[in-house]
Amino acid sequence: MGGTEVVAAVPFVEREQVLERLRQSPGEEARREAAPTPNGPPPSRWTLRTIRATFKTLENYTLSGVWRWLRKRVGVKLRSGHVQHFSPDPQYKTKVAKLKRCLKNVARNAKETVLLFLDEMGYSIWPEPAQTWTVPAPADPPEAGRQGANNGLWRVIGALNAWTGKVTYLDNYIVGRAKLREMYGRIAQTYPRAKKIFVVQDNWSIHKHPDVLTALEEYPRIEPIWLPTYAPWLNPIEKLWRWLKETILKMHCLADNWPALHQRVNDFLDQFAHSSRKLLRYVGLLGDGQLSKALHFT
């Protein structure tokens, strides 16, 4: 058909059949259409070409006709996929439920109860490449310059207050047992009036090292809350690290000036030394996420 082709209506029963087929992976018809060789496997995603090849009623449609048929008659459009989160922890639901109970405790009594999301990150003096607006170059794209003698590693340990957005952090060349014990002391000093301080953290072996657990006994107000294994989506401070990397560490021009880069990272974190609703919204502690709903339940 040409550009004036008619987009046929799809009966309800047939529409449900189309939707059910599209929920499945492309099959033999799509393989014959898209595989570069006769022995190639079928593709993993649907395209207009493979949809046309799969449904006989579309065999005479142009690709634009297939697009209109999907949009207007079937109600299907091109969508971006997202990661389906999964933790192998058999206690996943139990741990999530405990985390939500702790968040609700903070909501009931934010003056005496604190919940902190704790995590560590490392960064290098070398910038990572990323998109940026720049003046036209003769041929090459903008470069993330790495003219320094080495990559110069540094590490940060931080704690994000779930209620206020306040960030407490320490940094060093090494963040291990000693720095974690120091961090617990810093937390206790930062919140002297809190009767209970929940510190939510992942299962990194250092967090559960006997030396660290013994040091925690010096701070009876601090209670560690363990996240499910391999569940970073439950630790909002991970998004703070992402924000830091996107804002400061990608495409920077300080590969030959380590003190300046270090100071710029600290300046970014120091913005949140008191409180920040903007940070809470960015990391998902304000809004419609499951942690936000637990924290701001009515």
Q: Give per-residue pLDDT as tens, 110-139.
A: 999 999 999 999 999 988 888 887 776 655
Q: What DSSP character marks residue 128?
A: B
Residue spans in the chain of domains classed CATH 3.30.420.10: 92-295
d(CA 46, CA 43): 8
Which residue would you say has higher pLDDT here, 255 or 279?
279
Task: Reduce the DSSP state of residue 196 to 3 states and report it.
Answer: strand
d(CA 73, CA 106): 49
> Contacts for 85-88 with beta carbons within 8 Å, 24 or more apart?
85/231, 85/233, 87/228, 87/229, 87/230, 87/231, 88/229, 88/230
Averaged confidence pLDDT in the chain: 90
CB atoms within 10 A of CB 192: 7
Q: Give per-residue pLDDT as tens, 216-275.
A: 999 999 999 999 999 999 999 999 999 999 999 999 888 888 899 999 999 999 999 999
d(CA 68, CA 81): 21
CATH fold of 92-295, please?
A: Nucleotidyltransferase; domain 5 (3.30.420)
For residue 59, the model assigns a pLDDT of 92
Model confidence at 153: pLDDT above 60: yes
d(CA 70, CA 146): 48
Q: Give per-residue pLDDT as tens, 76-105.
A: 999 888 777 889 999 999 999 999 999 999
Please state the φ and ψ torsions of residue 290, each to the nearest 5 degrees.
-65, -35
